[in-house]
Amino acid sequence: MRDVFTLITERVLREIGGDPICAHVGDVQACAIKIHPTYQVLRGKVQLGRSKSVASLRLWESVCTLAKESTRRDREKWLMILLDLLTPYFKGWSKELAQKWRYEVSDIRSAMVEGALEAWFSMAGSTPPKKLLDTMMVRAFTSARGLVEAGSSETCAPTAEFLIADSTHEQDSTLPSSSIIDVGTVRDPDADERIRGERTGALLQRMGAMDHAKALHRKLRSGFRDESDAPCITPAQVGRSWVDGKNLYYRISDLLPKHIGFSEAANAIGLSESQASRMARKGSLPFRVLWIGNSRVVLVKSLMHISGIQDSIVHPDDVENGASHVGGE
């Protein structure tokens, strides 16, 4: 019988297939480790039960970070992987509970996934990964036991499909930066957009980084970007966006490296590496960490968020106009 555990695994395998997977930084091409296993091989090596290996805990920490800090399109995928890594440790116990209480094992497993997701959405933001792992397991077991001890095999537990759909819940605002206008200065959204882009271009020109920006612009204009990676735009931007048949808008973070070293990230917020390491162990570090072997890196977008740096949406034409003004062209 296909239960929620089976559906989660099928969902992950359908999306990833037999391709190599990078659970360090989420992108095989961007990872410093050049040899990556398939998901089936990776899943078989993970140990998250009572005998937790150091490598498995580091992988768990990276997957937790990817499930929170990846692009909106990828967060659901990594959350499904997170759940799928837990299900091997739920299967045996759920069977025993079903036999003991004469209960449908599929209902018990749905309750376990529901409990694990409740723990994730209520605690993932500030809880250390290892403690989050323990809490998700405990909450899953508690949810299943509460179901069977209710005394009826009839249950209103959500279906597997509902749980998977609910995993896309986002706590972050989806309001595009271009919709946030300082009414005290600029009242026209179109003018605000152009000013923002020109200021960005002027800054890049002064920093000597405009050649890098123009390389990205050529890529966008040539149509090499996956449109699913393009930022959401407002209805007012659609006309400008599709004049030449392409959405050319991008985020400032697209110009930056995806990751920086742990030490550099700590220094950026005024901490030493040792201070940041202690905070990471306590779960009080403001940014999340990815493990690449024995090395740690930090997502630049995460660092921008905690530093209050807005990841603005800009258009290549505006950025290049701003750079031209500063360059005297």
Encode pLDDT of 50-92 as tens digits: 778 888 899 999 999 899 888 777 889 999 999 999 999 898 8
**Measured distance CA(28)–CA(26) in Å, rounded:** 7
SS3 266: helix
* Choice among 4-13, 175-184, 239-248 with the minimum mean pLDDT: 175-184
Q: What is the mean pLDDT of residues 303-317?
A: 86
Residue 159 DSSP symbol: P
Closest CA to 57 of 120, 142, 141, 128: 128
Q: What is the pLDDT confidence band of residue 241, given thresholds at 50, 70 and 90?
A: low
pTM above 0.85, yes or no: no
- Exposure of 249 by Cβ count < 10 A (0-12 exposed, 13-18 middle, 19+ buried)? buried
Q: Which of 176-185, 212-221, 316-325 has the lowest mean pLDDT?
A: 176-185
Residue 242: its pLDDT value, please?
54
> Which pLDDT score is estimated for 174?
41
**In the predicted model, what is the mean pLDDT of the chain?**
81
pLDDT at residue 281 greater than cutoff 60: yes
- Nearest CA-CA partner of 84 in 170, 10, 2: 10
Residues linked to residue 251 through DSSP beta bridges, in sequence order: 313
Residue 114's nearest CA partner among 53, 156, 175 is 156
CA-CA distances (angstroms) from residue 45 to 4, 53, 61? 22, 10, 15
Q: Judging by DSSP bridges, how do beta strands 295-299 and 289-292 pair with one another? A: antiparallel
Q: What percent of the chain has pLDDT over 70?
A: 83
pLDDT at position 188 over 70: no
Say whether pLDDT at 117 is over 90.
yes
pLDDT in tens, 24-55: 888 888 888 888 999 999 888 888 877 788 88
Q: Say if residues 169 and 114 touch (Cβ distance below 8 Å).
A: no
Among the listed ranges 59-68, 201-210, 236-245, 319-328, which one has the minimum average pLDDT value?
236-245
Domain boundaries, the chain: 4-166, 173-329
Residue 258 pLDDT level (bands cut at 50, 70, 90) = confident
Q: Shortest CA distance to 170 belongs to which of 74, 302, 252? A: 74
